[in-house]
Structure 1
Amino acid sequence: MDDAGVDGRPRDPSLAAADATDPPSGFREQAAASDADVYEAFAAEGPEAWRRAADLLDWETEYETVLDDSDPPFYKWFPGGRLNASVNCVDRHLDERRNQLAIRWFGKRGERRSYTYLDLHREVNALAAGLRDLGVEEDDVVTLYLPMVPELPISMLACARIGAPHNVVFAGLSAEALATRLDAADSSYLVTCDGYYRREDAFNQKSKADNARLRADVDLAATVVVDRLGDALDVSLGADEHGYESLVDAHDGEMVEPVARDATDLLFVMYTSGTTGRPKGVEHATGGYLSHVAWTTQNVLDVRPDDTYWCAADIGWITGHSYGVYGPLSVGTTTILYEGSPDYPDRDRVWDLIERNAVSVFYTSPTAIRSFMKWGAEYPDRHDLSSIRLLGTVGESITPKVWHWYREHVGGGEAPVVDTWWQTETGAIALATLPGIAPMKPGKAGPPLPGIDATVVDEDGEPVEPGEPGYLTIGAPWPGMLRGLREGDERYRREYWVEAEDGWRYRTGDGATVDDDGYITILGRVDDVINVRAHRFTTGELESAIVGVEGVTEAAVVGTEDGDIVAYVTTRSDVEPDESVRAAICEELATAVGEMARADRIVFTPDLPKTRSGKIMRRLLEDITRGEEFGDVSSLRNPEVVGEIESSVRDV
């Protein structure tokens, strides 16, 4: 095998292959990353190359070395260094950008709030002083159970300021889920709110928090409650409960000396699902995580201080942490925070916000883009989106059709589209094109970033041939990586690491292929596999083929106990899901995957059940397909669609 890129680096990042698209020359000339030699520099320098990322931060004490790899897989980044995340996201910008907007918030019912960096500094300090007075000390874990309101990033930064790790729990999760995470994190402090709006209805968040408190084994020493709904919901405070506004007002004007944290100290814990069904508490250290996030925000998303930037992910998930809060604020830009849904009150809400705020970098998920496609191009087309300089995608894989629609109707046919792959555990982007250097390949995440040793291997750990499916692994540590699991070292090793002849390798859990130029295509989770007639198919492979059919916008594939393939399919609003579409889907599956991959049943549905983060709930679809009982669906983004799907299944 030649140097075709399967070693984890693109053979020639400036090579425009037949299926590649170059960014505009004007973009390349001004991009933060424009020198293709960066790949060679990282390869030659090894871990030392990550000083470039650390140099983007302010350190109270310089680190002694870049990487301590003496006890793999327990790697330590920038040991000896001391810094504070709140200082790096707020304080250090005050001299040059104190009156620049840091956060622009748009509420569900049309409310607006703006925070300059000076405003943000003032409120972060006031809340930090209030939390400290409530008893929060360094290393105490504070749980944050809030919707997309400014008080959420402010609380994160206030915790970081006093050295208290935060544990953000997505606001849509149940009381039981919150109780589980309070206990698992051993968290004695909670910041929540009275409620929030779901469409037109006021939803009582405080009642869920109260129920969680009753279920949790840990005793809460204090709870802070944000008044989000005002008179719309009457919520009383009990013992050890404090109003956010009163707490902040009582400490307004106080300056809290930031607590210098070791680079290896915990910044936050985030719970994600595990292969056994038990949540995993993924821990991220301060120095490595913040360095990696700052570097990728600047070089992959090309975010600059004079941008207005919008990452549409909820802060309750890792994307919102890394590229909604810490990334943009660390580079000193203006970040948009939006509480509402993309189709409320109208289906052009997103495009209206982009136009009105002159958003220059927009980062969202393929799930959202498919919804935009389904609603119709007329919605973005009626707005002036010329401010957009770069588009990004994150989440599941994006198909070429969706990629081209996104670029054409949102990016004006010119803006680069950066498809990114990463995980809660990686902390920051690991696979993507550097938009000022490498051409884009629609449907392919891209090559590994400089310094990321990503390789697609077979079951024996050997690199696969280009085009062959395998398992995506990372063969060397990287700064944003998790420092461990809350559940202990043994589970950390078991869940993620395998010891090979060439050292420890991180198992991502994703299937992938790599092409001749080193561009990696993500096939989906390796456990998302359907066994059909003695063949194994990944759901991503089948779903990608289905959405390639004209008029299809989204698909989810599940298997039955008898080995049948059942496809749930949504189409554009102007497409009638009739027998001709059904036949086209079957033919496309046969052509793209094989005759044995033809769907046995196709269920047309107006939408697919999704979590609040936009992930399709395939397990729920499996239960519906098999006629089994399923649990509470109220935490779904669209619980109303479940009944429609059940009816459709009975009719097929």
Structure 2
Amino acid sequence: MVRYPLQPFEESGEDMSEAYDRAWQASITDPQAFWGEAARALDWTSPPSATFTQDDGWFPGGTLNTAYNCLDRHVEAGWGDAIALVYDSPVTDTIRRYSYSELLAESGRVAAMLAALGVEKGDRVIIYMPMIPETVFAMLACARLGAIHSVVFGGFAPLELAKRIDDAAPKVLLTASCGIEGARTIAYKPMVDEALELAHHAVERVVLFQRERHRADVIEPRDIDWDVLRADTASDPVPAPVPVASADPLYILYTSGTTGTPKGVVRENGGHAVALAWSMRNIYGIGAGDTFWAASDVGWVVGHSYIVYAPLLVGATTVLFEGKPVGTPDPGTFWRVIVRHGVKTFFTAPTAIRAIRKEDPDATFLARIGTGKCEAIFLAGERADPDTIGWLEDKSGLPVIDHWWQTELGWPAIASCFALGDVRRKRGSAGLPVPGYAFAILDESGHPVPVGHSGAVVIKAPLAPGAFRTLWNNHAGYARNFATFDGYYETGDAGFIDEEGFVHIMGRTDDIINVAGHRLSTGQMEQIVAAVDGVAECAVIGADDAIKGMVPIAFVVPRAGFDGDATLAKRVIAAVRAELGAVAALKTAFVASGLPKTRSGKILRNLLRKIVNGEEWTVPPTIEDPAVPAALHSLVRQHESA
């Protein structure tokens, strides 16, 4: 075992904006040396033979175990009594704390449970569970065994879960009897049962964790109660951490594909651990003994990276929060959690801050409760508008740092590296490129655009450690991300870089919209809407929303004979909800006599967006029927005034 000492975070005291500049330059001019040094933060069973090769990726030849790096090594180093995980659940009025020794023991027991079911290195395990400690135990247990977990966001509709089951082909599925979403209790087991009926792949065993709020039926012999399995394996030894190759998958995380088929982003063990450990110390300023809180969900990449793995890799305390920014019980819940647990760095979505501001515009709860030991607030998930950032900075007195990344990347690519002292930021920009990432803005021909001009946001290949290197069962789909612009990863976003080097992400270049941090495909929604009886043609676009960032809006043209069908709009909404779940947030469907189209038949979705958003619009010269936009404008305005 190659071991390196765990250290608390300490500021270096140098001119920190220069520290950022130097780090970024070093990562671009000599990435082998830069990331080779960063890899020393981990314990390797076998050290890498190189830092990077084109064929084998990051840290080839190296073997390690991510769960060991998160837990065992800290306990072995005498850190066992330190708090690793805080579970704060205002929806169940529960707070529990787990030391590193206790978290190691709990995840070890789940590893023994999975091993008893035959789960081995390389097997897949679907985790369809809420924000409870057992979910974290399960993820770490899979990592311990060298198994590949795929967490599916609790609340996804059965068909979407079935698609993921068929693609990942898991041996075991772990679930809970319910999730608690604010005041609502959502039964998970019926959705799991339906998904298993829809799926072609046969899952061998389902392990069910029963929650007191709602208990579910166990279908024998396929299902087994979590507590029963735990009791049956209580005397089984905790499996030793299984060494895996740096390039071996740690997890598969599915994100929306433009065709309606989810794409499974594969995260490799070695590069993931190196990148996350580096980011905690150099972006967020978190080391051993610090408390970090990412107010996200483990079903998202933020939850994978910054609730479960990154804080534990550096020996910090991580907060697992089961609640909402408002209503559980009030808009002061975030500030209460920050103060209660001594959070040093806080990470949330702009959506959450907008919801808090809507309920408490004068920040009276924030003024009364305060922010305790918190030093900075980071925002990500969708673009943070300057007004929201300004409000939060004014009311909290803390630096509010927008930053940008994607499921595919796994960790921030644009940020103000706060821990390097680089507090330079510009409202409306996600910040400066993070060390390891070289950005460019290209036109449709692949040529760089002038400074300040918009174009396609791309990242020079190879991508930094931690970023995806393939898609599960779909390497051709992965390769398409690099096909449009030779030598660059196409992010799918449009934006510009200003004269000071700040990167501005302005929106998607495809039909993926961001609804409160969920990336959803309007193309996929259109497929669902088009299948509704009575729909002749349709378009789904993303409209601006003050709380969620964007929400989908549907426009449908009825088939002959359905012109007077008063149920059509409701059926369209119900169909999307049934297939994608409530997360799709489609609540408005306009039934229109026609859609704005070019003479070649292309639907003018940008025009629809402008009409819905109340922006200035003109009739394009290529339009097929010049009367359609005005009719739609009238329809939308009537709806708003109703």
Q: Name the TM-score class by shorter chain.
A: 0.7 to 0.9
Which residue pairs with 1:408 in the alignment?
A: 394
1:379 maps to 365
Q: Cα deviation per residue 1:271-307 (whole Å; 9 max; x = unaligned)?
A: 1111222111111111011211221122111112222
State the AA in 1 paired with 2:188: Q
Q: Is the 8 A contact 2:379 2:401 kept in 1?
A: yes
> CA deviation digits over 1:13-57, x for unaligned, max 9?
xxxxxxxxxxxxx98849999724222322331333112331211
Q: 1:497 to 1:638 in 2, by over 3 A?
A: closer
For residue 440 of structure 1, the aligned residue among 419, 425, 430 is 425
Cα distance in 2 for partners of 1:246, 1:32 equals 54
Aligned to 2:175: 192
What SS does the corresponding residue of 2:250 show, helix, strand or coil? strand
Q: Counterpart of 2:582?
A: 636
Task: Kindly provide the CA deviation profile for residues 341-395 of structure 1, in whole angstroms up to 9, marking residues without a partner as x.
Answer: 1212222111211122221111001111111222222221221213111110111
- CA 1:647/1:119 → structure 2, altered by over 3 Å: closer, same or farther? farther
Q: 1:467: how far off?
A: 1.1
Secondary structure in 2 aligned to 1:90?
Answer: helix
Aligned to 1:274, what secondary structure does the other structure show? Answer: coil
Verify: 1:114 aligned to 2:97, yes or no. Answer: yes
Q: Distance in 2 between matches of 1:47 and 1:445?
A: 27
Structure 2 partner of 1:147: 130
CA deviation after TM superposition for structure 1 residue 110, in Å? 0.7
Corresponding residue to 1:622 among 526, 549, 554: 554
- From 80, 85, 103, the equivalent of 2:85 is 103
Superposition deviation, residue 483 in structure 1? 1.9
1:77 to 46, 58, 71: 58
Alignment partners' CA distance in 1, 2:159 and 2:539: 35
Does residue 291 of structure 1 match 2:237?
no
Query: Is it true that 1:233 corresponds to 2:215 in the alignment?
Result: yes
For 1:316, the equivalent position in structure 2 comes to 299
Does the residue aligned with 1:622 lie in a helix, a strand or coil? strand
Change in 2 beyond 3 A, CA 1:417/1:432: same
- The reply to whether residue 268 of structure 1 matches residue 258 of structure 2 is no
In 2, the alpha carbon distance for the partners of 1:282 and 1:206 equals: 26
For 2:261, what is the secondary structure of its paired residue? Answer: coil
Deviation at 1:233, TM superposition (A): 2.9
Equivalent residue for 2:405? 422
Indicate how the Cα distance of structure 1 residues 51 and 226 shifts in structure 2: closer, same or farther if over 3 A, else same: same
Alpha-carbon distance in structure 2 between the residues aligned to 1:99 and 1:30: 33
Aligned with 2:289 (options 301, 306, 320): 306
> Which among 222, 231, 247 is matched to residue 229 of structure 2?
247
**2:378 equivalent in structure 1:** 392
Instruction: Name the SS of the counterpart of 1:633 in structure 2.
Output: helix
Aligned positions, number: 545
- Residues 396 and 524 in structure 1, CA contact (< 8 A), matched pair in contact too: no
Residue 451 of structure 1, CA deviation: 2.1
Confirm whether residue 89 of structure 1 aligns to residue 70 of structure 2: yes
1:348 to 318, 332, 341: 332
Q: Tell me the TM-score normalised to structure 2 length.
A: 0.79
Q: Check conservation: 2:161, 2:195, Cα contact below 8 A.
A: yes
Cα distance, 1:419 vs. partner? 1.8
Correspondence for 2:509 among 526, 533, 546: 526
**1:649 partnered with 2:595:** no
Distance 1:181 1:384 in 2: 42
Matched, 1:363 2:347: yes
Given residue 66 of structure 1, which amino acid in structure 2 is its aligned partner?
A: T
SS at match of 1:55: helix
Which residue is equivalent to 2:48?
Answer: 63
Instruction: Report the CA distance between 1:641 and its aligned residue.
Output: 6.5
State the shift of 1:145 in Å.
0.2
What amino acid does structure 2 have at the position aligned with 1:492?
Y
**Correspondences of 1:2-17 after superposition (within 5 Å):** none
Q: How does 1:36-55 map to 2 (within 5 A)?
A: 36=20, 37-55=22-40
Using the alignment, how far apart are the partners of 1:355 and 1:648 within structure 2?
46
Q: Please tell me whether residue 129 in structure 1 is matched to residue 112 in structure 2.
A: yes
CA deviations on 1:178-233 (whole Å, 9 max, x unpaired) are 11100011112100011122334432111111111111111111111112236x43
The alignment status of 1:138 with 2:121, answered yes or no, reads yes
Distance 1:623 1:305, change over 3 A: farther
**SS of match in other structure, 2:206:** strand
Q: Which runs of 5+ in 2 are unaligned?
A: 1-9, 517-536, 559-567, 591-611, 613-635
- In structure 2, the residue matched to 1:453 is 438
Report the secondary structure of 1:617's partner residue.
Answer: strand
> Using the alignment, how far apart are the partners of 2:206 and 2:17 within structure 1?
44
Relative to 1, partners in 2 of residues 1:565 and 1:262: Cα closer, same or farther, differing over 3 Å?
closer
CA offsets 1:82-130 (integer angstroms, 9 cap, x no match): 0001001111111232111111112222112211110010011111111
CA distance in 1, matches of 2:507, 2:139: 31
For 1:494 and 1:565, locate their aligned partners in 2 and report how far apart those are by CA, in whole Å: 24
1:350 and 1:362 mapped to 2: Cα distance? 10
Question: What is the rounded CA distance, in whole Å, between the counterparts of 2:435 and 2:118 in structure 1?
Answer: 43
> Kindly tell me: are residues 499 and 352 of structure 1, through their superposed partners in 2, closer, same or farther at Cα, counting changes over 3 Å?
closer
Amino acid across the alignment from 2:354: R
Partner SS for 1:362: strand
Give percent identity, aligned residues only: 33
| 1:563–1:261 Cα change, 3 Å | closer
Contact 1:395–1:421 at 8 Å: present in 2 too?
A: yes
**Distance in 2 between residues matched to 1:325 and 1:192, nearest whole Å:** 18
Equivalent position of 1:534 in the other structure: none
Residue 651 of structure 1 deviates from its aligned partner by: 3.6
1:470 shift after superposition? 0.8
Give the CA deviation at 1:564. Answer: 14
Higher relative contact order (CA 8 A, sep 6+): 1
CA distance in structure 1 between the partners assigned to 2:175 and 2:140 by the alignment: 15
Contact kept? 2:540, 2:555, Cα under 8 Å? no
User: Residue 539 of structure 2 contacts residue 556 of structure 2 at CA under 8 Å; is this kept in 1?
Assistant: no
- The answer to whether 1:35 aligns with 2:12 is no
Cα distance change, pair 34–338 in 1 and its aligned pair in 2 (3 A): farther
The change in CA–CA distance for 1:49 and 1:121 in structure 2 (over 3 A counts) is same
Asked whether the 8 Å contact 2:165–2:199 carries over to 1, the reply is yes
2:538 and 2:248 map into 1 onto residues whose CA distance is 50
Q: 1:479 aligns with which of 454, 461, 465?
A: 465
Query: Deviations for 1:388-423, whole angstroms, at most 9, x for unmatched residues?
Result: 11110111111222112222223x2xx333321111
Cα offset for 1:632?
Answer: 4.0
Match in the other structure for 2:6: none
Q: Distance in 2 between matches of 1:384 and 1:539?
A: 29
Alignment check: 8 A CA contact 2:497 2:503 kept: yes
> Is the counterpart of residue 330 in structure 1 residue 313 in structure 2?
yes
SS at match of 1:391: strand
Q: 1:466 to 1:233 in 2, by over 3 A?
A: same
Letter of the structure 2 residue corresponding to residue 337 of structure 1: L
The structural deviation recorded for 1:476 is 2.3
What is the letter of the counterpart of residue 367 of structure 1?
T
Unaligned segments of structure 1, at least 5 residues: 1-25, 531-537, 541-560, 571-606
| Matching residue of 1:603 | none
